Structure 1
Amino acid sequence: MTSPAIARADADAAPAAASGPAPAMTQRNLAFQGFRQQIIDARIRPGQFVSQRELMQLLGMSLAAVREMVPRLEAAGLIKAVPKRGLQVATVDMKLIRNAWQVRAMVEREAVLRFAEVATPATLQRLIDDHEAILQRALQPQPDPGLEKDAQAVDWGLHDLMVDSIGNEILSEIYRVNSLHVRLIRYDADSMRPMQVVPAMREHLEFLRALQAGDRAGALARMMSHIEQSKHRVLSGMLQGGAPLAA
């Protein structure tokens, strides 16, 4: 049986059709989603200090909405209050890297097993086509200013789809919060540049083709290897950039 997440993904890939209005979100949730997008777009840096009023301007939200959002960010470990300094975005260290990738491995192991059961041939082929298109762009000699953003969308789109295919909203929320930590770490490591896109896309394609061939054990092994390799790429990028890696 196809999961709702797969059905939505297939529908999103189909030609647009008329639909009703999206459900309303609370101001706090809108502010949180705005903060999340700032991390995704690399406009908020690890370790950055920011005031509530600066967040209000950055997110285009009211001060009340920002104040309601802050406890959620603190609970998620994305920011902390520093006396006389304001709010500090999470800093990157070895503990954060270890914890974030451990959560990834635990959640995505279960996600791969479920995704292998519910992913349709059309979904797998669409994902393969998307990855191959990004890979070909990354291999071109001329600069591609849109590559990094598009590669991130394809990269994280696969992981999010797999986790959502489990059908557990609590687990999906845990994963998405953790993915923000991973994105902060990746930002520090500068890890989605073209030279990093190529191995990531190739590893994803190996995983997807294993699924397409019905090799679930091979697909699981390839995804676990990809997660480990992505951690090594981040560590390598941070060390090359001279970033401190305190334990």
Structure 2
Amino acid sequence: MSDFGAAPDDAGDPRRAEIPLRQAAYEGIETLLKSGELKPGQLVSQRELVKLTGLTLGAVREAIPRLEAEGLLQTVPQRGLMVPSLDIAFVRDAYQLRRVLEMSALPDAVERMSDEAIGELIRWHRDLRARAEKGGDREAARAAEELQRRDWTMHEGFVAMTGNRLMVNIFRVTAIKIRMAVQSRIRVTSYNALRVIDEHLAILEPLARRDAEAMAAGLARHIDNSLAIALGGST
């Protein structure tokens, strides 16, 4: 079972010393895309990616075909690589796919996810909520950053309960593209962190009771709210 507390956006992950350079380069570029450091429509050279990832040119070159196959980078002849531009129609389609994947995974999460893992997630969210409420603006900002790192990891963890690696990979790439397209709109901030925490708890608490219907309702509301915000609605 995956550790939902991991922070996949951490480019300084010590695992990089233990994995193939090609995979490390892929993960480094993935992090740049998820964080918004590489933006839709931006042109970037292989040598710039070397500087940004801190890895070798050979490793970056080996990672590029996979990134292209997943639609995360495009080769532009005579100009280098481009981060693809993603429009509103894509955002709608991506959220529809996200809904299908997460809802399909829900029965497996209800059946397979351990009480310990669910309880840890609930405690973490409740503790974070208390900190955000009582700690002032600086603590609220820290809480938002922690929630931002953990948010997509939790959702990917639900899909991982299916044991279907293809579904997990499709979800992961779709999530990256959503963040590339609308990162500034769906980012967790000190102003919306409490809402996101409450929406997560409305998913996790029914999961703890093994109440699939209530969990599905909470998950649907959470995805719908995220889509509305991604399309320009109020946070």
Which of the five TM-score ranges fits, normalised by the shorter chain? 0.7 to 0.9
Residue 63 of structure 2 corresponds to residue 69 of structure 1: yes
1:39–1:184 Cα contact (<8 Å) kept? yes
User: For the residues of structure 1 that align with 2:196 and 2:214, how far apart are their CA atoms?
Assistant: 17
Relative to structure 1, the CA distance from residue 131 to residue 185 in structure 2 (aligned partners, 3 Å threshold; closer, same or farther) is: farther
Residue in structure 1 matched with residue 166 of structure 2 by the alignment:
170
CA shift, 1:72, in A, is: 1.2
CA shift, 1:10, in A, is 8.8
Contact 2:16 2:24 in 1 (8 A): no
What is the aligned partner in structure 2 of residue 235 from structure 1? 231
Structural mapping, 1:213-232, within 5 Å: 213-232=209-228
CA contact (8 A) 2:4 2:157 kept: no
Equivalent in the alignment of 1:38: 32
List gaps (5 residues or longer) in structure 1.
Answer: 13-20, 241-247
Structure 1 residue 120, shift from structure 2 partner: 2.1
SS of 1:194's equivalent in the other structure is coil
* 1:104, distance to aligned residue in structure 2 (A): 0.8
Q: C-alpha distance in 2, partners of 1:52/1:70? A: 9
| Identity among equivalent pairs (%) | 30
Q: CA deviation at 1:150?
A: 0.7
Tell me the number of residue pairs that the alignment of Structure 1 and Structure 2 aligns: 225
User: Which stretch of the first structure deviates more once superposed, 212-221 or 79-88?
Assistant: 79-88
User: Could you tell me which amino acid in structure 1 is paired with residue 187 of structure 2?
Assistant: S
Match of 2:108 among 91, 111, 114: 114
Query: 8 Å contact 1:191–1:233 — kept in the other structure?
Result: no
Residue matched to 1:100: 94
- In the TM superposition, residue 123 of structure 1 has moved relative to its aligned partner by 1.6
Deviation at 1:223, TM superposition (A): 0.6
Q: Distance in 2 between matches of 1:35 and 1:79?
A: 10
Give the Å deviation of 1:188.
3.6
> 1:143 aligns to what?
138
Q: Could you tell me how far 1:205 is from its partner in structure 2?
A: 0.2
Cα distance in 2, alignment partners of residues 33 and 142 from structure 1: 32
Q: Is the 8 A contact 1:155 1:201 kept in 2?
A: no
Quickly say closer, same or farther: Cα 1:137–1:50, change in 2 above 3 A.
farther
- Using structure 1 for the length normalisation, give the TM-score: 0.81
Summarize deviations over 1:206-238 as a string: whole Å, max 9, x none. Answer: 11111223321111121122111111112226x
Tell me the equivalent position of 1:89. 83
Distance 1:167 1:203 in 2: 25
2:3 aligned partner: 9
- Report deviation, 1:23: 10
| From 180, 183, 193, the counterpart of 2:179 | 183
RMSD over aligned Cα atoms: 2.6
Distance between the aligned counterparts of 2:86 and 2:194, measured in 1?
A: 25
1:26 paired to 2:43:
no
AA of the residue aligned to 2:156: D
Contact 1:92/1:188 (<8 A) preserved = no
Q: Which amino acid aligns with 1:62?
A: T
Residue-by-residue CA offset, 1:170-190 (whole Å, 9 max, x unaligned)? 221111111111221342425
Structure 2 counterpart SS, 1:44: coil
- Tell me how far apart the structure 2 counterparts of residues 173 and 137 of structure 1 sit (CA, whole Å): 33
SS in structure 2 of the partner of residue 227 of structure 1: helix
Tell me which residue corresponds to 2:202.
206
